[in-house]
Chain A
Amino acid sequence: MTGILQQLVLGILLGSLYGLAAAGLSLVFGVLKVLNVAHGELIMLGGYAAFWLVALVGLDPFVALLLIIPLAGLFGFLLYGGLFRFIVRHGEETRIKNSLLVGFGLALTLQALAVRLFTADERSITTSYRGRALLVGGVVLPLGRVLNLVVALVLITLLHLFLRKSRWGQAIRATSEDWEAASLLGIDVRRAYGLAFAIGTALAGAAGTLVSLGYSISPSIGLEWTLKALIVIVLAGLGSAFGTFVGGVVLGCAEAVSAIAFGGAYREVIGLLLFFCALVARPQGLFGRS
Chain B
Amino acid sequence: MGSVSSGRRRVGTGRAAATSAALAILGLAPLLVTREDWLNLGVIFFLLVALAQSWNVMGGFAGQVNLGHAAFFGIGALVTRHLWTGGLAIPLAVAAGVVLATVAGLAVGMAAFRLRGAYFAIGTLALAEVLRIAIGNVLPQISTLPAAVIAAYRLSIRYYAAAGLAVATTLIVTALAASRLGLAMEAVREDETAAEAAGVGAFRVKLAAVAVSTSLAGLAGGVFAFYHISYYPQFVFSPAWTFDPVLITFIGGVGTIHGPVLGAALFVFLREYLALHWVDLHLLIFGVLFIAIVLLLPGGLVEAAARLRALGARRSRAVGPGPTGRAEPSQSSRWGESLRRRS
Q: Please report A residues at the B interface, Cβ cutoff 8 Å.
A: 35, 37, 83, 86-87, 89-91, 93-94, 96-102, 104-113, 115-116, 223, 227, 230-231, 265-266, 268-269, 272-273, 275-276, 279-280, 283, 285-286
Contact = CB atoms under 8 A, between A and B. Distances in A.
A111 B287 CA distance: 10
Contacts of B126: 227, 230-231, 272, 275-276, 279
A107 B246 CA distance: 14
Given A109-B284, A116-B281, 14 more contacts: A37-B122, A90-B342, A94-B342, A96-B118, A97-B117, A101-B294, A112-B287, A268-B133, A273-B130, A276-B111, A276-B126, A276-B127, A276-B130, A279-B119
B130 A104 contact: no
Contacts of B284: 108-109, 112-113, 116
A227 B129 contact: yes
B283 A112 contact: yes
A102 B340 contact: no
A105 B287 contact: yes
A8 B283 CA distance: 39
Q: Which of B137, B287, B339 has the most CB of A within 10 A?
A: B287
A116 B281 CA distance: 8
A94 B339 contact: yes
A102 B291 contact: yes
10 contacts: A94-B343, A97-B65, A100-B118, A102-B294, A108-B286, A112-B287, A223-B239, A276-B130, A279-B122, A283-B115
Task: Report the 6 A-B pairs with minimum CB-CB distance, sorted nearest first.
Answer: A109-B287, A108-B287, A91-B342, A105-B290, A112-B283, A105-B291
B31 interface: no
Contacts of B129: 227, 268, 272
A113 B341 CA distance: 33
Contacts of A105: 287-288, 290-291, 294
B115 A112 contact: no
Contacts of A87: 295
Nearest to B288: A109
B208 interface: no
A230 B115 CA distance: 15
Given A108-B286, A283-B114, A97 B339 contact: yes
A93 to B, nearest CB: 6
B273 to A, nearest CB: 16
Contacts of B65: 97, 100-101
Residue from the set A116, A231, A273 with the largest chain B CB neighbour count within 10 Å: A116
B280 interface: yes
Interface in B102-147: 111-112, 114-119, 121-123, 125-127, 129-130, 133-134, 136-137
B250 A101 contact: yes
Contacts of B280: 112, 115-116
B243 interface: yes
B338 interface: yes
Given A86-B295, A108-B286, A269 B114 contact: no
A265 B111 CA distance: 26
Nearest to A267: B133
A91 B341 CA distance: 8
B160 to A, nearest CB: 33
A104 B339 CA distance: 16
Contacts of B115: 279-280, 283
Given A35-B118, A279-B119, A280-B111, A272 B342 contact: no
Contacts of A107: 287
Contact of A100 (B116, B121, B338): B121
Nearest to B140: A265
Contacts of B123: 275-276, 279-280
B2 to A, nearest CB: 42
A227 B287 contact: no
Interface string B314-343: 000000000000000000000000111111
A107 B178 CA distance: 35
